[in-house]
Structure 1
């Protein structure tokens, strides 16, 4: 399960994610959709600890991404459209 609790993420001086909360249950199919630049990839990078929240928590299988990034990266893989992401 992936839980996002009151996630805020600041890039440079601007908040690009503000107060995001969601829960993705194990075995479910979930799509994150939105316009270009809306924060989809930024949110996804929080799921495996590539980015850490400015405020709030991301929890994967009861492991907080702030506390154990190595274990999270063993559990969550991401495939990007452009290798530079």
Structure 2
């Protein structure tokens, strides 16, 4: 009786494994076909803070530094102003 029980358990386990494999194959095929139909779909992280330095608001080769609230420009010697747009 033990042999019959072990055999039944092995068949059930194999059946469960086969079912899981089929489900994975269907899911993977569905994902592939969805991406083929929607080739321009991209996955993005939920939210990123905007980068105030891209593109750089600093003129005259000023260096843009990101801050918690916005940016700050480090201007070359001959320039000043918020965006290095004024002659010093």
Structure-1-length-normalised TM-score: 0.22
Using CA pairs below 8 Å that are at least 6 residues apart, which structure has the higher relative contact order?
Answer: 1
Larger radius of gyration: 2
Higher strand proportion (structure 1 or 2): 1
Higher helix share: 2
